[in-house]
Structure formats: C-alpha cells, structure tokens
Homo-oligomer: A and B are copies of this chain.
Amino acid sequence: MLNFEFYTPTKVYFGKDTHRKVGEIIKKYGFKKILLHYGGGSIKRIGLYDQVVQDLKDNGIDFVELGGVQPNPKVSLVRIGAELCKKENVEMVLAVGGGSVIDSAKVIAISALTDIDPWEFSAGNAKPDKALPVGTILTLAASGSEMSSSAVITNEDKLLKRGFNSEFNRPLFSIMNPELTYTVDKFQTGCGIVDIMMHTMERYFTSTKDVDLTDRIAEGLLKAVIRAGEIAIKNPRDYEARATLMWAGSLSHNDLTGAGRESFLRCHQLEHELSGMYDFVAHGAGLSIIFPAWAKYVYKHNVEKFCQFAVRVWNIDMNFENPEETALKGILATEDYFRSIGMPVRLSELNISDEKFEEMAEKCTHYGKRVISGYVPLGKKEIIEVFELCR
C-alpha cells in the first residue's frame, strides 16, 4: 500500500425529496447571491428547474442563471460564466444537472476569482489556489463529479478535451435524489453505468501490490453496480437501483477506490481523445469500446489481477492450469455486460474508421512528450494498436 491523502469534504444530502431543501441549505451557509448553472431542457422538462427557482425565491436567495451546458462542456461557456460571476458578485455556483454541468460549474468557480483564462487550468499551465464554493443537485449517476476533485472540459477550437484535479474542485455540498434520474433514457443510463464501473476499474488495475482492502471495496462496488445496472435498464423507475447507481457513482470517483495505490485513468485518457475528436461520442460509450480493447492489449502482463477480477467480480471459476483463460473470460464478461446494457463495444458500431487513429494517438501523447503508464506503457505506437483493437 502506498502513502496517500484522503479528503472528501463534500456534504452529501442523499435520498428522496432532498432537492427540496436546496434553498434552506444555501441559506444555512449564508450565501445571498448565486449562479444557477444548468444544461439543456431536461431539468425544465421534469419540473426541477421550476422547483429550484421557487425554492431559491422562497428562501430569499438572489440568483443569476446560465444554461446551455452541453455534453463535453465547452470552455467558451465557462468563460461566459466566469465573467457573469465577476460582474454580478456571485458568492456560490449551484450546478443543477449531470457531470458536464458540474464540471463546467467547477471551472467557472475557479475562473471567477482570477484573470487567468479557464483553459490554462485544463491545459495544466496554471493551478487554482482558490474558488467560489460549488453546490450541486445531481440528475445523472455517472461522472462522480459531485464528490470528486476533477473537472473535464473541452476546447472546441483545438478539439481537445482535458481534465485536471484540484482540491478546489471538491463541491461544498451535493444533493442527490435518485428519483431525479428516473427519466434518464436507457442509453444515458448505460453510459453512466460504464463510467461508474470504469472509475473503479481504472483504479483497480493498478501495479501497486497489497491493496486488499481497497480491492475488496472496489469489487463490492462493482458487483452492486452490475446488478443495479441491469435493473435500472429494465425498469428506469426502480428507486433502489437508481439509488445504488447514484451513490456508487460518487464513491467510485471520490478516491475511496484508489486509496493506497498508483491509479491512473488510462482508458479515460484514450477516451478523451475519442470524444474530443468526435463530439457525438458519449463518454460512457467511448469507454465501453476502449476498455475491452485496452484490457486485451495488456492483460498478459498482469494475469493474476485480471484473474482476481474475473473470479471475484464476475464469479468465473478459476482455471488454475490456464490462468490466462480465466483472465480473458473476465474481460469478455465485461464486454458482454456492456453490450447487454445497450452500450457499443466497437468503433464500427459508431461508424468510426481508423483515419484519425494516428492523430488521436499524437494528441494523447502530447505529440510524443508523454507516455500513458500502466502494465504496458502506451506511446503513440501502442495507443494506435489499442485503437486497432477497438475497430
């Protein structure tokens, strides 16, 4: 086990009707003027927008609003949000939506207190040293952004999608009502399931030895998500399944599943190139294609860990005479599961050919300046080979 720091200060309000307390909660913290930040029409369609606005008014909280966050949230909107916060002397940003809205809110909250251009934080050229507090009302179980230290935004001019971690990205509070995800469609639910599993699995497939406790917690989380995912896809209004996915989403990315080990989100790095290049690729769909390919590319270099995954998570019988077979079965079981919940597992399903593989690999390696670490270090050549396995 490696040394680690663990810091999850976000106060979570979880359960039915909890979003009805948003005004009261903000009032308790003493904020008088906030930015209400959201995406497209879904929060208006389900009536959430009206409820939040009413609740803010009832509690005497003044607000300005900025909607229009898109999937793969854009830095251009972040710039607008940061300017708005400065102009209006906003004290807090309330994100109502999924991971894209929350990530956008996080970078707005940081950029509101500085003159540095927001993209500089994502590009790694600047580090935040303060931020407005961010509160969230979560409407999608997926990114874990509601408790995480990360934020990912896209530079639409450069076709680049970049994430950065900072303690200033941790929300002050997050309100999680699983009922607000009842109307999330099958595909987006599937994307969320994959994202949650991948936040756990990316940390699970580590090179660090002796992380039994963190492994066991990750395995338990995965088993619960696999089961709840099947149920939520079949019955979108199953409260318990939606609740399991929502809480698992937070725990999968708040560092609990990474405690004490080297963890690097390799498949996420590759996926960011994919959805950065092809804006129509949903993050979860990109991951469900990339993980099986990456796993097949590397598993022979850590057969024992892939066997553990197969046996403990997928209940596959260990083949002691041929461990590689067991390891591969675990990967195929994951691929089958992704397919069973309606997710793509090959690029061809999205009509993406190999023409951009080289360009994506170059961007992913920062034009040769970095290597993606893991069981097999991935440079440009290896990344192209992984993409080939995605075809």
Contact = CB atoms under 8 A, between A and B. Distances in A.
Interface of A: 1-9, 11-18, 210, 212-213, 215-217, 219-221, 223-225, 227-228, 239-240, 243-244, 247-248, 251, 256, 259-260
Given A212-B227, A221-B217, A224-B213, A12 B5 contact: yes
B11 A5 contact: yes
The residue in A216, A223, A227, A259 that gathers the most chain B C-beta atoms within 10 A of its C-beta is A216
A250 to B, nearest CB: 9
B212 A244 contact: yes
Given A220-B219, A220-B220, A248 B213 contact: yes
Given A14-B260, A220-B219, A260-B14, A244 B5 contact: no
Contacts of A247: 1, 213, 259-260
A5 B13 contact: yes
B212 A216 contact: no
Interface centre among A11, A17, A217 (most CB of B within 10 A): A217
Contacts of A223: 216
Contacts of A17: 3
B221 A216 contact: yes
Contacts of A215: 220, 224
Nearest to A15: B3
A104 to B, nearest CB: 24
Contacts of A7: 11-12
Of the listed residues A17, A213, A225, A240, the one surrounded by the most CB atoms of chain B closer than 10 A to its CB is A213
Nearest to A243: B1
A216 B251 CA distance: 13
Contacts of A212: 224, 227-228, 240, 244
Contact of A14 (B4, B16, B220, B228): B4
A263 to B, nearest CB: 15
Contacts of A260: 14-15, 243, 247
A18 B1 contact: no
A232 to B, nearest CB: 13
Given A5-B11, A213-B248, 6 more contacts: A1-B243, A3-B18, A4-B14, A8-B8, A212-B240, A213-B247
